[in-house]
Amino acid sequence: TQLLEQSPQFLSIQEGENLTVYCNSSSVFSSLQWYRQEPGEGPVLLVTVVTGGEVKKLKRLTFQFGDARKDSSLHITAAQPGDTGLYLCAGVQTGANNLFFGTGTRLTVIP
Partner 1 sequence: SAVISQKPSRDICQRGTSLTIQCQVDSQVTMMFWYRQQPGQSLTLIATANQGSEATYESGFVIDKFPISRPNLTFSTLTVSNMSPEDSSIYLCSVSEQGLGYNSPLHFGNGTRLTVT
User: Residues interacting with partner 1, by CB under 8 A?
Assistant: 30-31, 33, 35, 40-45, 48, 50, 86, 88, 90, 92, 96-104, 106
CB of 65 to partner 1, least distance (A): 12
Least CB distance to partner 1 at residue 56 (A): 13
Dihedral (Cα; 61, 24, 52, 68), 10-degree rounding: 160
Cβ closer to partner 1: 42 or 111?
42
One-letter amino acid for residue 97 of the chain: N
Specify the residue, 33 or 72, whose C-beta has the smaller distance to partner 1: 33
Shortest distance (Å) from residue 97 CB to partner 1: 5
104: left (phi over 0), alpha (psi -120 to 50) or beta: left
CB-facing half-sphere around the CA of 22: CA atoms within 13 A: 8
